[in-house]
Structure 1
């Protein structure tokens, strides 16, 4: 298996604010070995306009990195989790922020649960994400969230009707379509 050398990366903008990133391929596709995937099972209209399906995300080296991340995760979930925990043990991550997914989402219960274990194992690192997996988060995260994990529900998915902008932390990538929704974020993008 071709495992990524490093799991966490930084682009120029994230580096400027000290944020590291973990990413997967956006939405649905086919891996080089022929397997199909859908890393955004609750995507709605956002799948049509997704920034992570255009531009630099389509460059061969970037696409290959995202696919290698997903392949490692799918083929060896325990090895992926252990590797992520080990990488996060480096001093440079203490007190820092990790953005989980600038593309992709928590596509299974077991994958989200692995991230929750990682958050608990690294209490000196802060984690955040945007997600359309409302039901999954209501069941697995909201009852007892790790103190170092923040999330924003993102409009544009199939579970928008379950969101309450007066209660939930929400972001709206299509604000002209929903002028009555508020965008509330309390941590770096």
Structure 2
């Protein structure tokens, strides 16, 4: 179940993947493995290139079906696989696409981690509320994580306290912001300084959408626009609501009818 791509193999990390964001399984079921995705879904590297190849997509969808159809069986299978000697003292990245999409799924991973204390695990996640409730109170000692900007829960993050990752237009922008790049090794996301800078993938149409912003600033723009729209809608409802009728005094509609 665990695999290695070229970049992770170079640093000795194994990987578990799900399909990115939302889609439909071959049996017709729909899914969303990244329920807290925000602007990131528009420029997600895992919805581009090799991730879209039929054989790769089929593998990731098979992983998801196993989780959805038999979570206890998946948990035991993962614990069994991690019992191999080659995983002792190594690192597993939980998701290079997808996220902890439900409480039950996250709890199952925590069970796996506690059952295999000689293996180290790490993850990027946008599921801030879920981690606050289920992980932060008593995390497994062999699990590290980083909250990544670009999701619908960005406002819950505190860059002075939380370990956070943001995507920048390029390496120079990371340095200029005073953040610390994980370009040399993905493990720096959890082992380096807590402000993690990720240079954007050099995919032309993604860079055009990013337009020189970071994921954090882009998401903040979208959130502000939505809040302004809600305020406008609220003001419109208030302006068009009927005037209250003063007790003992006929309303304007009643006066017009009487006339």
Match of 1:108 in 2: 102
How many residues are paired up? 183
- Alpha-carbon deviation of 1:12? 1.5
- 1:12-31 alignment runs, 5 A limit: 12-31=6-25
- Alpha-carbon deviation of 1:187? 3.5
TM-score normalized by the length of structure 1: 0.91
2:50 equivalent to 1:56:
yes
Structure 1 or 2: more helix by fraction:
2
Alpha-carbon distance in 2 for matches of 1:75, 1:110: 13
Match of 2:67 among 68, 73, 83: 73
| Consecutive unaligned residues in structure 2, runs of 5 or more | 181-187, 193-197, 199-259
Match of 1:151 among 126, 145, 151: 145
Match of 1:171 in 2: 165
Match of 1:4 in 2: none
**Partner SS, residue 185 of structure 1:** helix
- Alpha-carbon deviation of 1:182? 4.2
Conservation of the 8 A alpha-carbon contact between 1:172 and 1:182: no
TM-score normalized by the length of structure 2: 0.67
2:4 equivalent to 1:10:
yes
The runs of at least 4 consecutive aligned structure 1 residues that moved more than 2 Å come to 174-189
Match of 1:45 in 2: 39
Cα offsets for 1:62-98 (capped at 9, x unmatched): 0000000001110110110000000000000000000
Alpha-carbon distance in 2 for matches of 1:140, 1:74: 20
Larger Rg: 2
Alpha-carbon distance in 1 for matches of 2:12, 2:77: 21
Alpha-carbon distance in 2 for matches of 1:158, 1:61: 31
